[in-house]
Structure 1
Amino acid sequence: MGEELDLTIREAIPEDAAELLKMTRQIGRETEFLVMDEKGINLPEELLAIQLEDIYESPNNTLFVALLGEQIIGTASLKSSNEKRIAHIAELGISILKDYWGMGLGSVLMEELLIWAQESQTVYRIELTVQEQNTTAIHLYEKFGFQKEALMARGARSDDGRFLNVWLMSKMI
């Protein structure tokens, strides 16, 4: 990473629920690049803790947190279906608090996800959607071998009501 931070990156655990809710509310206010808004993950802490336990024990789902001390400053996830015919496909998501953009944290989180996917031997296709205007994220994904598959017209909507185009990208594992 460009600027050295004393970071810990690890899989999320149920005890992360409160801090994760706090982080997602903040990031929902900071950027329109994500689907979530200022409500963040709209779940009670107890339910989120149960979901984090399920993710931690899943063979084809993961959620990494980037911690600066006790504060979660970023997350990276792979989410797959339990349906047998599509359980090999994971949807990728990376979220980083705005204060930590441009420091290389996205690359570090991406590396962790790709290592996890290769070692899982259950995920063979990773997909993501990214707003066409989010050129920094598109560059990151292309750097790691993701290919653009389709441009989805009106794939998202901005806070002021404008329609935004969204790229579907994928990588084979």
Structure 2
Amino acid sequence: MSEVEITLREATGNDAKELLAISQQVSQETDFLIMDERGMNLPEDLLATQLDTIYESDTNFLLLAFADDQAIGAASIRASDEARIAHIGEVGIFIAKDYWDLGLGTLMLEELLAIVNDESALGRLELTVQERNTRAIHLYEKFDFQTEAILARGAKSEDGEYLDVRLMSLLVGE
């Protein structure tokens, strides 16, 4: 692949169509995600409303990555509204297969962590990742995420095979 200029920015409601399209594409390219082959299965107008709400939030963030004005990936942090756990953000990243191994995951995670450290009251980030997704585990370890547990049979493959899942976390704002 020739050199590509990547743009990262926070998603708004205007990005709903692009986010749906990239989620559907990625969900067909990999089975490492919780999403099935349909991707985000939401009506575009509902997703647009949710994206505007996320954009206005100080504990929820969604970044989109673009190459030549086409969405190629997303990175998010989602926190609960429940007071006792509102300080915990759940991290999620997905990238179109053509853009794997180019450092995009690193770029998106760096940006998310900068936003969290500058703009939020989150004190803990956590995620789950399939044990077989060694690239993602390496990425998270590079940013000091720690393994807290291995969840036996934490996911199931499309062919019914049980998969172990790693629970990882990072304490922020210390």
Query: What code does the residue aligned with 1:6 have?
Result: E
Contact 1:3–1:103, Cα closer than 8 Å, also in 2: no
Cα separation, 2, equivalents of 1:162 and 1:13? 37
Are 1:12 and 2:2 counterparts?
no
Moved over 2 A (4+): none
Aligned counterpart, 2:69: 70
Question: In structure 2, how many angstroms separate the alpha carbons of the residues matched to 1:121 and 1:62?
Answer: 10
Question: Offset at 1:7?
Answer: 1.1
Look up the equivalent residue of 1:140 and give its one-letter code: L
Q: CA deviation at 1:162?
A: 0.1
Residues in 2 aligned to 1:147 and 1:22: alpha-carbon distance in whole angstroms: 32
Would you say 1:98 and 2:97 are equivalent positions? yes
Q: Which ranges of structure 2 fall in alignment gaps of 5 or more residues?
A: none
Q: Which residue of 2 aligns with 1:167?
A: 166
The residue aligned with 1:82 is 81
Amino acid in the other structure paired with 1:139: H
Letter in 2 for 1:101: W
Deviates more, 1:47-56 or 1:66-75: 66-75
**Count of aligned pairs:** 172
Q: Which residue of 2 aligns with 1:117?
A: 116
Report how far residue 78 of structure 1 moved.
0.3
Residues 9-62 of structure 1, C-alpha deviation per residue, up to 9 Å, x if partnerless? 000011110111111111111101000011111100000000000000011000
Cα distance in structure 2, aligned partners of 1:40 and 1:86: 27
Quote how far apart the aligned CAs of 1:4 are: 3.5
Match of 1:85, SS state, is: helix
Q: Distance in 1 between matches of 2:154 and 2:161?
A: 11
Q: Which amino acid aligns with 1:156?
A: A
Counterpart position of 1:141: 140
Amino acid at match of 2:94: S
Compute the displacement of 1:3 (Å).
6.6
- Structure 1: unaligned runs, 5 residues or longer: none
Amino acid at match of 1:142: E
Measured on the aligned residues, the alpha-carbon RMSD in Å equals 1.2
Cα distance in 1 for residues equivalent to 2:152 and 2:47: 33
CA separation of 1:4 and 1:123: change in aligned 2, threshold 3 A: farther
Q: State percent identity of aligned pairs.
A: 55
